[in-house]
Each structure stands twice: as structure tokens, then as C-alpha cells.
Structure 1
Amino acid sequence: MTAASSERLSVLLVEPFFTGSHEVWATGWQEHSRHRLHLLTQPGTHWRHRMMAASVPLAQATQEHIARHGAPDVVVASDMVDLAGFLGLCRSELVGVPAVVYFHENQLTQPTSPNGVGGLRDRHLAWTNWRSLLAAEEVWFNSAWQRDSMTDALDDLLAGGPAGDDQRPLLDGVRDHFQVRPVGCDLADLLEVAVPGSDGPPRDPGAATEAPLVLWNHRWAHDKGLDVAVKSMLAVASQGIDFRLAVVGTDDHHDPSRGDKLLEPLGDRVVHRGWLEPERYRQVLAEADVVVASARQENFGISVVEAVAAGCVPVVPDALAYPESISDPTFRYPPGRLTTALRNVLVDLDGFRARCAPLRESLRRFDWSNVATADDDRLQAVVERSGAQRSASARSGAVPGAGTEGEEPR
């Protein structure tokens, strides 16, 4: 980077679904960034409406923000923003301002809900994602898995257009702007948690004889596979293996009792369930011994990264984005083998803890102290490159959007 990399940029971060991992990402980066991040948000509800309509109120908020504070150096928008529509509505205020889009998830590969309208994939929203890719100077993904799976799905989407409208050639150019930028996590305190069997003292000597605590810490949603996890835990319990269970996270079901019905056969093994306050949640992370993932879709996996940083032994699928964070295949299971993998860990917990120590330390790369610095540097590069391109256009006399000689401007 040049000397300018130490300068503070004015960054407008636009997030129409301000909850969950989207909120954690936005506020975490704002807190740890050297740049000045200004957040423009909408509540994290009615996600489909936000994707289709939020560009209008967010554009109005942007215009008001710029009137008071001046234009930003760069815009960063989440995947829930119709970026092409947003930039069109702000075309006067954001002239020459580069834009980056960050994909937490996308509407081409996200599993559809088995309930209601969500059971059908909304191709309109998939096309919205495609237009956002085209409108951005850079496209950031939280994992290589999401980048690659979305690229494959885009090829299919673009091939499905009517005759004479094959947009696939544009995809090669868009790929050049792809970046993998993991989500930052608050791991510093979790990495200091003492783990039984490590060089430090046991976390709680008084609880040394308690059964191991297995943690499932994901959204209670169809794509996270709570039903799969419960089935495996019942199978492990039937083999006489003792454990306690914490099932924590927000409940996305229209019927909140559905999760309780799933857990009922596990009886008093379940010692925590449902959403926890942040402080209590981090206490449970520190108390847990094993973290289980059974997702049908995962583009990063903040909850697993947090749990392993706190000392949990992971039992995760050998698929999706998990190999990028859980790099040791010892802790990943092939399809249909969750029961066997969980049983193996519980009967040799000390052995797996010892093997997990290097993996735990490797997760430090996802701490915000490292991620924010890297993302800040990347934003600086985007701004510098955009400025250089504008300077080159000015020197050549080119006018953005103007037609060639003999043509009317479009």
C-alpha cells in the first residue's frame, strides 16, 4: 500500500437488514475500523420487502446524509441492497464514488423455505443480486465457497434468458472484481478461555465430573438442520453415552413450539435452549466442550468460529464453507456420519481437545483486529484505483456515459 493507506476514509455502509450476522458485521467493522464508517440501516425484518424496496428510503437517507456531511469516499452495501437501483437514485450525489457489495448470502444458492411463498425461489431477487454485481467496483464474499457456488448458479441463471439476451459473457469480467473477505469476529476474550487438558487450569474444577456439554448454536431455521442434529444426538444417547445439550439461537419458525417439540425426546439433557443475552451466550461458549453443526447451507459460520475459539471441539460437515475455517479434516464429517463423528469425540474428548489446540489458535485470523485492518486496506485500494481511473479518463478527455463520435449519448 502507499503512504495514503493510513488516511481515514469516509465510508457509507448501507444495510437494509440490520440484525443477526449483518448487524454483527456492520457494527464490528465500524468499531474496529481506522476509517469513519457511517451506517445507514433499516430494521432486520421482512427481508424480501427490504431487497425489493429498501433502496428507495436508503437513497433518501443517503441524500440527506450527504447534504449534511458531504459525499463519502466509498459506499459499501450488503447483498440485501438493490445496489444498481440505489446508485441510480443517488446518481447526482454519488458521482465518481466507488461502491463495494458484500455478500453474506445470495438469492441464487440460499435454500428455499419449505413454508409459504419462500418455498419457491424468487428469480427476481436473483436478478437483483446479478445487477448488484454489475454495479459494484468490487464484490466481496464471506467465503470462497459462496463465491464459487454463486458463480456456478449465475451461469445457469444467465443461460435461462430469452434468445438474444445471453448475459453470460459479462460474468467473466465481473469475476475479475471478486474478493473473499471473511467476516470479523470478537475472539480475543474467547481465545483466552482456559480449556481442560491444556497448559492452563480447568475452567471450573467443581464441574469436572459433569457430563460434557454439547453446543448447537445456530438459527432455528430449516437450513441449519436442527432436526438432523437432534436425530444424531438421540442416536448417541441410545448408545449410553452421557452428555448435556445447549441449543441456543434465534427461532425463525413461524411456530416457536416446533423447536421445543424437536428437543422434547432429549429430556433433561437439554440445559439451555433459545436465545441468550450476549454476555450469557459467551459464558455458555466458555462452558461448552463440543460444538456441532448440521447445516444444509453455511456461507461462513460465525457461531462455530466463536465456539472453537472458546475451546470447543468442532464436529462440522466436510462441506459448504466449513473447510475454510475448520481446516483440520479431523473435525469434519462426511455426509450421513454426524452420529459417528459426535460419538467418537465424546468418548475421547481429551484426545480431540489436544488435537484441536492448533486449529483454535489458527482462528485468530478471523478476529476483528486482523480482519478490519485487511478490509480497511482493501477499501483504500478500491478508492485509489477509482481515483486513478477517473484521472486517466480526464486526461484522455473521456466523459463517462458519453457516446462515441457520431452517436447520441445514452
Structure 2
Amino acid sequence: MSVLLIEPFYGGSHKQLMDLLQEELQEDCVLCTLPAKKWHWKARTSALYFMQTVPTSSNYRILFASSVLNLAELSALRPDLGKLKKVLYFHENQLAYPVQKCQERDFQYGYNQILSWFMPEHKLAHLEQVIGVKKNGDSYQSEGLPGQQESRAVMKTSDAHPESGLCEPQPGLCTTQHEGLPSPPAAPAQAEAPESTNPYQGEDKQCLTFNLSNILSGLDYQQRPLHIAWPHRWEHDKDPETFFKVLMKLKEQDLPFYVSVLGETFSEIPDIFSEAREVLGSSVLHWGYLPSKDDYFRALCTADVVISTAKHEFFGVAMIEAVHCGCYPLCPKALVYPEIFPAEYLYSTPEQLFKRLQNFCKRPDIVRKHLYKGETAGFSWAALGSKFRSLLAAEPREDL
């Protein structure tokens, strides 16, 4: 077990990536996790927990962790782990993460991330040679790599080897774009929800079965109403308010459509969900998280359009999964999306999103006959697996 995998928030895309790595590496790794609950506590205290629970072993060579872990603290608390080559994977940037309320930001989480990837001058000089990091005043920036937005973070390692593939502009390895998609045509995986907090879960699971088997199958494919999917976490950073306001406007104009609101819920659910559930009424095909992968993919495969209204996104596994299942994507012209999706799938304002959906509601055949013009194969494990294996197979150096 030469690779030590540490995940303090073992759920969602975090779990998806770790499970994929463990499956592919098999006997060559050990996985240490904490449940996907109380994220803020995990960010503050998980280093102390793993200091006590990660077994000591002389076989470890690589430490791979998500940035929820304060890697600097763990390295100090466990000098044996501090000597390993370390790969830190950023699922999000806490310095730019949207705040839910107008209040002073808690700087601790961004500070943890800074400490976890800070490197001394001699290492930055080495990176400048290997992957083209240039100094700009008192800061460093990457040149010639994808992901130059302020809200993105380059995957950091305690050393960079040319054979690892880090010097190549491959999406998902140089940046945080890859979150564990399987290889086409195999179905991509949806992570299990830590807990169900959805009051409609039982009711709408039955509703989904009834609607899909009776309503959709009884209509001509090209004539049935447009089916819209929103497969995201029910939290403020995904901006459900914008999404539901657009749908309510479609409803006001008596435009025909169905909607499946997928994604996991946590202890706090934005008020807009209960309001939208009531207003949308019979337009709802499904409401809430689907623990069954088959049910989840079936819902995506019957959908025509998948929408993101996110305010903060490094990659967006759910959107790529939906495109993989045949959905037409509509994404903000911001964040990571222009790097992944061609311009015709991007919108700049809620008004533009409404107009696109208005047109699709009137002519659903437009999206049903459409062939996606982007490329998703580069994000598959078939494309990136060898680079991850190379990265995680590298031997540590004495000067780390």
C-alpha cells in the first residue's frame, strides 16, 4: 500500500474520486475517510483526527488528499507523513467561495488551503522549470495551462516530475477539472448521499416511476413536453433561485415542460425549493436525490436539457454526466464552463437562459435532434488514468 488516500468529507464528488482511485489502484493503496457531514468541522479538525487514526506504515510513498484537509497541520502532527510526496486535490477555492449571507467571511478555510499548498522558493523555482510557473510581483501564476480564472486552483504536489504528465495541458490533471468520470460508454457514477433530508423523497420516488412509465411512454417522443434536468446540490452556491425563477416564468406563460430536480440535500435547504415545488406542480417529474444509480441515469437519459446556474464551479461532474447521457447543456458564460463547453451552450444572463428555454419549450425537437458539438472523452478515466497512475507511482525525493 504505497498510496495513502485521505478524504475528510467522503461524499459527492469527493467520494466519487477516491472510490475511483481506490478501485483502480486496488491493493496498492489505503483509504482513510470521515463521513460527509459538518463540512466546516472537518476542515478545522480533520488533521487532528487523522493524526491519531492513520496507521503507521513504512510502505507509504504518496499521500493524496482533498483540500478539505489542512495538509500543513497533518504534516506537522505526523512527521512520517510529512516526508511523503504529497498531492493535494482542490474541489473548490475557499478564498472565492460565494457567501450565503452579507457578513464577514470566515478566512480560516481559505487560509487552510493557502498553508496546504504553499511552497518555498526552491520548489517554486523547480516548478518554473518543469511546468512554466512565472513570478508576477509577490505572487506566482501558471502560464500555458488551462484554468487561469481567479476562482480556480492548480493541482499542487510537493514535487513535479515530467513523467507525471503535469507539464502537459491536460484538463483534469494540471487543474482541478477531473473528478473521476468513468470511461465512455460506461455509465458515470453518482456518489451516494450521506443522509436523506428531503421531505418529498418517498413521495416523489413513486411519482418518478409513474410519470416516466405512463406519461412519457404514452407520448410521441418528438411531441412530448421539454424535459429539463437540474442535477445539483440543494445549496446556495448552485444558485437555485435563478433556476426556479426562470422556470416559474415559463410556467406563467403556460409553456409546456417537465422538470427533474435531482441532487443531494443537507441539513439546510434554501426556501426557494418549497416555493418552487408548489408553483411548478404537475410539471415536476422528480423532486430530490436518487440513491439508485440506475434511477439517476434513467432520469438523465429521459431529459432533454440540463442546466447549471452555479456561482462557483471548478469542473461540474453532474453537467458532464448529463451530457454523457444525451442532454443539451446550458451553462453560465463564466467560471470553468467556457473551457469545457462550446459557446452555443453558454448564456450570460438569466434573461438569455429564459429565452433559450422558451424557444426549446416551443420546439423541443431542436434539442432532441441536436448532436453535442463539444468533447467529453478527454475527461474520462480512459484518457486520464495513465497520468494519474504515473503521478501516484512516482518515488519520493530526499529533498521533499
TM-score category, normalised to shorter length = 0.7 to 0.9
CA distance in 2, matches of 1:215, 1:276: 13
Q: Is 1:100 matched with 2:104?
A: no
Q: Is 1:249 matched with 2:263?
A: yes
TM-score for both structures, normalised by structure 2 = 0.74
Assess, with a 3 A threshold, how the Cα gap between structure 1 residues 349 and 295 changes in structure 2: closer, same or farther.
Answer: same
Q: Is 1:227 matched with 2:241?
A: yes
Q: What SS does structure 1 have at the residue aligned with 2:174?
A: strand
Shift of 1:131: 0.6
CA distance in 1, matches of 2:267, 2:225: 30
Shift of 1:348: 3.9
- Per-residue CA deviations over 1:253-282 (Å, capped at 9, x if unaligned) read 525775222221111101100111222111
**1:315 touches 1:342 (CA, 8 Å); kept in 2?**
no
CA distance in 2, matches of 1:124, 1:72: 29
> More helix per residue: 1 or 2?
1
CA distance in 2, matches of 1:258, 1:231: 9
**2:74 touches 2:82 (CA, 8 Å); kept in 1?**
no
Shift of 1:45: 1.1
Per the alignment, residue 88 of structure 1 pairs with: 76
CA distance in 2, matches of 1:325, 1:34: 30
CA distance in 2, matches of 1:296, 1:146: 17
Shift of 1:355: 4.4
What amino acid is aligned across from residue 335 of structure 1 in structure 2? Answer: T
Structure 1 vs Structure 2 CA RMSD: 3.3
Residue 318 of structure 1: which of 333, 337, 346 is its match? 333
Q: Is 1:291 matched with 2:306?
A: yes
- Per-residue CA deviations over 1:13-71 (Å, capped at 9, x if unaligned) read 11111111111111122223478232111111111111111101212222x242xxx33
Shift of 1:299: 1.5
**1:18 touches 1:41 (CA, 8 Å); kept in 2?**
yes
What amino acid is aligned across from residue 107 of structure 1 in structure 2? Answer: Q
Per the alignment, residue 24 of structure 2 pairs with: 32
Q: What SS does structure 1 have at the residue aligned with 2:376?
A: helix
Residue 189 of structure 1: which of 186, 190, 195 is its match? 186
- Per-residue CA deviations over 1:84-106 (Å, capped at 9, x if unaligned) read 11011111x23642111100012
Per the alignment, residue 323 of structure 2 pairs with: 308
Residue 331 of structure 1: which of 341, 345, 362 is its match? 345
CA distance in 2, matches of 1:95, 1:80: 17
**1:305 touches 1:325 (CA, 8 Å); kept in 2?**
no
**2:225 touches 2:361 (CA, 8 Å); kept in 1?**
no
Q: Which runs of 5+ in 1 are unaligned?
A: 1-8, 153-174, 192-202, 394-399, 401-410
Q: What SS does structure 2 have at the residue aligned with 1:71?
A: coil
Residue 214 of structure 1: which of 198, 219, 228 is its match? 228
Residue 149 of structure 1: which of 148, 151, 154 is its match? 151
Per the alignment, residue 179 of structure 1 pairs with: 174
**1:56 touches 1:89 (CA, 8 Å); kept in 2?**
yes
Per the alignment, residue 16 of structure 1 pairs with: 8
CA distance in 2, matches of 1:205, 1:10: 55
**1:14 touches 1:77 (CA, 8 Å); kept in 2?**
yes
Per the alignment, residue 366 of structure 1 pairs with: 379
Assess, with a 3 A threshold, how the Cα gap between structure 1 residues 125 and 95 changes in structure 2: closer, same or farther.
Answer: closer
Shift of 1:190: 4.2
**1:32 touches 1:369 (CA, 8 Å); kept in 2?**
no
Q: What SS does structure 1 have at the residue aligned with 2:330?
A: strand
Assess, with a 3 A threshold, how the Cα gap between structure 1 residues 358 and 34 changes in structure 2: closer, same or farther.
Answer: farther
Per the alignment, residue 50 of structure 2 pairs with: 58
- Per-residue CA deviations over 1:389-410 (Å, capped at 9, x if unaligned) read x3xx6xxxxxx8xxxxxxxxxx
Shift of 1:144: 4.7
CA distance in 1, matches of 2:344, 2:25: 35
Q: What SS does structure 2 have at the residue aligned with 1:358?
A: coil
Tell me the matched-pair count: 334
Assess, with a 3 A threshold, how the Cα gap between structure 1 residues 151 and 25 changes in structure 2: closer, same or farther.
Answer: closer
What amino acid is aligned across from residue 72 of structure 2 in structure 1? Answer: A
Q: What SS does structure 1 have at the residue aligned with 2:87?
A: strand
Assess, with a 3 A threshold, how the Cα gap between structure 1 residues 316 and 268 changes in structure 2: closer, same or farther.
Answer: same
* CA radius of gyration, larger in: 1
**2:6 touches 2:64 (CA, 8 Å); kept in 1?**
yes
CA distance in 2, matches of 1:135, 1:30: 28
Q: Is 1:126 matched with 2:110?
A: yes
Assess, with a 3 A threshold, how the Cα gap between structure 1 residues 95 and 300 changes in structure 2: closer, same or farther.
Answer: closer
